[in-house]
Chains A and B, each alone.
Chain A
Amino acid sequence: MAHIPDGVLSLPVLAVGGAVSVVGVGLGLRGLDPTRTPRVAVLSAVLFVASLVHFPAGLASVHLLLNGLAGIILGWAAFPALLVALLLQAVLFGFGGLAVLGVNTMDMAVPALLAASLFRLGWNQGAPRRAALLGGACAAGSVLLTAVMVAAVMALSGREFETAAKLVVATHLPVAGIEAVFTAAVVSLLARVKPDMLARPT
């Protein structure tokens, strides 16, 4: 999914991805109050576990990205949270690599941030239905944007990857649908049970 292995991307792409992620993680960490660390870590662990839970979807089974959800709950802290989750996946399971860590983090976290700002624009406290709809839309959007970014970094690394890049986007379409329903359920539950989780984290 968003785990591009080492060796596929070209050096300039790796460098740009690394730079974007360093800046993003830096900003995310600066805004991260040390006492809020446990909360961010919970989300980071959820992101890690999410890639282990496989959903039945017709013939194939897919796993979720949940970067939209991470963005909605964490805001800028999504950057370090995603970095940690991806690092753990690379080290423990060999999903993704070391040099591409920056690019993979960027592909997941930039859509997460966009989803976050979109959600904040459209939602204010106490409207679970609206939260569910918005959350679902943000989730689907960020999965698709991640797929497009993965495809883009592959296409930028060489024209010959274009076919594979199109395949990546195509396989993410069902993921986006499932993730929209899933995130809508999560967000509507949170809006009812614990709305302060969705409120602007400071």
Chain B
Amino acid sequence: MSVIPAARARGSALDAARAGEGRALVARLDPRSRVLLAVAFTGAVVLAESLSALSIALGVAIGLALLARLPWRLTLRRLLALEGFMLVVLALLPFTVPGRILAEPLGFGLSAEGLRQAAQIALRANAVAVALAALLGSLEVVALGRALARLGAPSRLVHLFLFTVRYIGVLEQEYGRLRLAMRARAFRPGPGLHCWTSLGHLFGMLLVRSLERAERIDAAMRCRGFTGRFHLLDDHGPERPGALDLGVGAASTAALLLVVGLGL
């Protein structure tokens, strides 16, 4: 059961984001620019084919991470989690892709094309992951919701997003309380039907409690005249993009054109 350390890790990620606010260059960018930049970057990386272009992309992503002053240890841990999934795919590729055989360890052919494809995937996945962490991961989640709203995401989706962010915190508290109650009754997780059923009941109770809470919140909100429009509180009308945003926008547009010009 490792929700607590994971929660702590996320807490520190949020704290780190707040500590970086107003300091790092990426933190001074408008959240909307960061969302657009992340989308454009991902698009370019997914479209790019050549290994040199992808290496440059990974370099840019690491540069962004430096500019965002991401905490190293946390970022590396995130990447390791990603690599865990990838390892299976990547380790198999050189053997399953047909092509020129480079070596034959234990009688399985290791093909050049397979190695190339594995490198391509590894570069792409890491570039996107690092860039996402730098641009969006360091952003406060609520600010991300507002940015999405101002970029024209459907308002109901944005509500759902903001409420979800809120309920994750609520759920974690409730979960901690219920787990404590179970521990007080000497429950210890171990493989087996009993454990899974107990955790099922725990989650069921979690759902019921959170839902009743949601109903109370819903009633309170309707009592205050909520009709489905959610007012973004710090909305003084959309601010004009600053010089920094325009500069970064121009630079990344130029970089994209360069990438397209070089033939991806």
Chain B positions near chain A (C-beta within 8 angstroms): 1-3, 6-7, 10, 13, 38-39, 42-43, 45-47, 78-79, 81-82, 85-86, 88-89, 92-93, 96-98, 114, 117, 120-125, 128-129, 132-133, 136-137, 139, 141, 144, 154, 156-157, 159-161, 163-168, 170-172, 175, 189-191, 193, 195-201, 203-208, 210-211, 213-215, 217-218, 222, 226-228
Beta-carbon contact of A98 and B137 below 8 Å: no
Contacts of B6 in A (CB 8 A): 52
CA distance A97 to B133 in the complex (A): 11
Beta-carbon contact of B10 and A92 below 8 Å: yes
Contacts of A93 in B (CB 8 A): 10, 78, 81
B260 CB to closest chain A CB (Å) equals 16
25 A-B interface contacts by CB (under 8 A): A5-B85, A7-B125, A7-B128, A34-B227, A41-B166, A43-B207, A45-B168, A46-B207, A53-B199, A55-B191, A56-B189, A81-B160, A88-B164, A88-B165, A88-B168, A90-B132, A92-B13, A92-B137, A98-B42, A160-B98, A161-B93, A164-B89, A185-B201, A189-B200, A189-B204
In addition to A7-B120, A52-B3, A186-B203, 12 A-B residue pairs with Cβ atoms within 8 Å of each other are A7-B121, A8-B125, A42-B167, A44-B164, A44-B167, A55-B196, A80-B156, A88-B141, A91-B141, A92-B141, A182-B203, A186-B200
Which of under 10, 10 to 19, 20 to 34, or 35 or more describes the interface residues of A? 35 or more
A73 CB to closest chain B CB (Å) equals 8
B149 CB to closest chain A CB (Å) equals 13
CA distance A90 to B81 in the complex (A): 12
CA distance A48 to B226 in the complex (A): 26
- B-side interface mostly: helix
Indicate whether A46 sits within 8 Å of B171 (C-beta atoms), given known contacts A35-B218, A186-B203. Answer: yes
Which of B2, B122, B211 meets A194, CB within 8 Å?
B211
Beta-carbon contact of B1 and A184 below 8 Å: no
Beta-carbon contact of A197 and B164 below 8 Å: no
CA distance A93 to B78 in the complex (A): 6
Contacts of B189 in A (CB 8 A): 55-56
A80 CB to closest chain B CB (Å) equals 6
Beta-carbon contact of A160 and B117 below 8 Å: yes
Beta-carbon contact of A54 and B2 below 8 Å: yes
Q: Which of A109-160 contact B (CB under 8 A)?
A: 154, 158, 160
Q: How many inter-chain residue pairs (CB < 8 Å) link A and B?
A: 238
Contacts of B42 in A (CB 8 A): 6, 97-99
Contacts of B201 in A (CB 8 A): 185-186, 189
Contacts of A181 in B (CB 8 A): 193, 196-197, 200
Asked whether any CB of chain B lies closer than 8 Å to the CB of A40, the reply is yes
Asked whether any CB of chain B lies closer than 8 Å to the CB of A39, the reply is yes
CA distance A103 to B159 in the complex (A): 23
Asked whether any CB of chain B lies closer than 8 Å to the CB of A84, the reply is yes
Q: Shortest 7 CB-CB distances between A and B: which pairs?
A: A185-B200, A7-B124, A34-B228, A41-B163, A189-B204, A45-B167, A38-B214
Contacts of B96 in A (CB 8 A): 160-164
Beta-carbon contact of A45 and B164 below 8 Å: yes
Beta-carbon contact of B137 and A94 below 8 Å: yes
Beta-carbon contact of B88 and A167 below 8 Å: yes
By beta carbon, the residue of chain A nearest B96 is A160
By beta carbon, the residue of chain A nearest B46 is A99
CA distance A57 to B197 in the complex (A): 13
